Amino acid sequence: MLLDRLAETWTAVAATRSRNAKRDLLAATLADAGPDDLEIAVSYLGGALRQRRTGLGWRGLAELPEPAATPILTLLEVDAAFELMAGLSGPGSSTRRTAVAAELFGQATAREQAFLRGLVLGDLRQGAMDALVQEGLAKAYAVDPAVLRRAAMLLSSTTEAARLLVREGRDALAAVGPTVGTGVQPMLAASAPDPSSALAKVGSPAYADVKLDGIRVQVHRLGDEVRIFSRSLDDITERLPEVVEAVRELPARELVLDGEVLALRQDGRPEAFQLIAAQAATQAAVTQVAAADQSAQLGTQVPESLALRAFFFDLLYLDGRSLLEAPLRDRIAELERQLPAELRVERALVDTADELAAFFDAAVARGFEGVVVKAPDAGYAAGRRQASWVKVKPRHTFDLLVTGVEWGYGRRQGWLSNIHLAARDERTGEPVMLGKTFKGMTDELLRWQTEHFSSIATERTDHVVTVEPTTVVEIACDGLQVSTRYPGGVALRFARVLRYRPDKTAAEADTLADVKRLLGPPVEAPDETS
């Protein structure tokens, strides 16, 4: 199949808002793809290359060669080119990658170049992604969409489901079960603003799990072989040797566990997410030892490595038996039989909103992120964000100044969208930037912002309109994080707009000191000798 066929489909899919029409367009193209093309077509129409990383990004695509006049590229050729780029590493690889990319894009027509660009950047904007491609594929092959979706979730991707479907047929799809060693799409949680609405969504009684702010992991064990997958099903086994060891010591031979990895301090409170994530992103212990040796010789400091531990909250597979369809209460019972308490997330079974609120308050007081409220009867809905799991986190609010706004893209084109947020410096009164947000804005608010901020603009560039720092906006966030980018040394985490405060003047906005109170009482500064 020619790449042009997918580029054409992409244009057509983007042109309609009807999901059914999108599905039919996708189905027509997928029905025409041969067995060798199907996986690539499924992946590309879903907006993704088959390679997880190619080393190409927006910078690498900044200058493209003249487009070709006629389409000649085949899917196999394109996939091979990206495969080549993905495999390049070491000195000279960057130059080589640029050359390969230039050759590929030089053979592409203008429309194909735009399509490829969207694939590389994950920026297709056609109003259809993985889920709609599944529907299209199901229609093209006349299989039950629910069967296809389930297979995709259990096989880790729609591409894998497509491969199985085209090679082994419909029956093989229906027979798919969870397999030790193949990542299952993790179940996600909906969210609620407070404990009582969470309980209202889930129903009672409900389980309340302490929500840990770390790295989501799915751990597979088959005998001595242990594999750890991240939320996106990346294999991160090499980065978490302590977790491998802990799981190897369990009595069960075959396991698929769902949990969170983090580090606790001496006092039992969790380390900051930033430290945990940094540790988890660091390659194998061998490298760390080497780095420590090296820095010892140089007399420099290497940050002390954190002891990462896994805390599990679900069990999906045990010794030949899938537990995906089993109700949570049964999965929990089995989890408690198989794992010692030190490896489990703390949880309670609650009946009332008051009990839940007390559990939530206690968890937050101990430094944890919040709670996840779960329906005892629900099965494990792989890959879905259902009301059977609902997370709740404390919400903090500040009144901040808007110092600038950025022009939006895509459906926000032509509107001033992303706003720059600042607190007042308590001494000088000058705004200190703490981050940006585009969240919480309705279309109506976007219209208002565009008009309002245009009227108080002091400076304009291509992307950013600087404004007089007089507008006060009420912002919600999950907390603060240490920042080297922003001058106050902190940035807002998950900031979103609640409402504008036309009733407040700039002088009434919160100060940097007000915001920093969220960090808790200031820590004794260690003696800094250099």
Partner DNA sequence: ACCAGTTGACC
Partner DNA sequence: ATTTTGT
Partner DNA sequence: ACAAAATGGTCAACTGGT
CB neighbourhood size of 296 (10 A): 11
Which x/- pattern over 62-91 shows residues binding DNA (rule: CB under 7 A)?
--------------------------xxxx
Among 50, 150, 220, 436, binds DNA (CB under 7 A): 436
Among the listed residues 63, 66, 224, 485, the single contact to DNA using CB under 7 A: 485
Cβ atoms of 231 and 316 within 8 Å: the answer is no
CB of 308 to DNA, least distance (A): 13
For the chain, the C-alpha Rg in angstroms (whole number) is 26
3-state class of 400 per DSSP?
A: strand
Of residues 8-47, those binding DNA (CB under 7 A): 17-20, 47
**Which residue from 70, 442, 529, 530 is in contact with DNA, where contact means CB under 7 A?**
442
Question: Annotated active-site positions, please?
Answer: 211
Asked if residues 510 and 453 have their Cβ atoms less than 8 Å apart, the reply is: no
Let me know: does 178 contact 229? Beta carbons within 8 Å: no
* Per-residue x/- track, 323-362, DNA (CB under 7 A): ----------------------------------------
Cis peptide before 205 (omega within 30 of 0): yes
Structure-token match 């053979």, residue found? 107
Report the amino acid identity of residue 185: Q
Please report whether residue 483 would count as binding DNA according to CB under 7 A.
Answer: yes
Which residues have a Cβ under 8 Å from the Cβ of 137 and sit 6 or more positions away? 26, 27, 30, 42, 143, 148, 158, 161, 162, 165
- Measured from the CB atom, the residue of 79 and 213 that comes closer to DNA is 213
CB of 417 to DNA, least distance (A): 4
Closest alpha carbon to 345 in 192, 201, 217: 217
Q: With CB under 7 A as the contact rule, which of the stretches 70-78, 318-326, 360-368, 410-418 interacts with DNA?
A: 410-418
* Positions 141 through 180 that interact with DNA (CB under 7 A): 149
* The two structure tokens encoding residue 272: 């900051």
Residue 390's beta-bridge partner residues? 190, 373
Residue 40's alpha-carbon distances to 43, 116, 162, 375, 411, in angstroms, are 5, 13, 10, 38, 28
Q: Which stretch binds DNA (CB under 7 A): 27-35, 51-59, 72-80, 448-456?
A: 51-59
Among 246, 405, 491, 515, binds DNA (CB under 7 A): 491
# of chain residues touching DNA (CB under 7 A): 92
Ranges within 269-328 binding DNA (CB under 7 A): 273-274, 277-278, 280-283, 287, 298, 303
Nearer to DNA, 318 or 372 (CB): 372
Looking at the Cβ atoms of 98 and 254, the one nearer to DNA is 98
What mask, x for binding DNA by CB under 7 A, covers residues 212 to 251?
Answer: -xxxx-------------xxx-x-x---------------
Structure tokens given for 216: 């989501």
CA distance 237 to 240: 6
Q: Which residues fall within 8 angstroms of residue 337, CB to CB, at 6 or more apart?
A: none
Q: How far is the CB of 356 from DNA (least distance, A)?
A: 18
Lateral strand order in the sheet of 215-222: 225-230, 215-222, 254-262, 309-318, 321-322
Among 265, 337, 411, 460, binds DNA (CB under 7 A): 411
Contact with DNA (CB under 7 A): which of 30, 473, 476, 509? Answer: 476
Q: Per rule CB under 7 A, is residue 447 in the interface with DNA?
A: no
Entry field: residues in the chain = 530
Considering the rule CB under 7 A, would residue 409 count as an interface residue with DNA? Answer: yes
CB of 319 to DNA, least distance (A): 27
| Selected binder of DNA within 176, 441, 467, 473 (CB under 7 A) | 441
Q: Least Å distance between CB 497 and DNA? A: 8
Rounded Cα–Cα distance for residues 371 and 209 (Å): 5
Residues 106 to 145 in contact with DNA, rule: CB under 7 A: 124-133
Closest CB 179 distance from DNA, rounded Å: 20
CB of 188 to DNA, least distance (A): 7
| CA pair distance 48, 50, nearest whole angstrom | 6
Q: How far is the CB of 61 from DNA (least distance, A)?
A: 7
Distance CA 448, CA 501 (A): 13
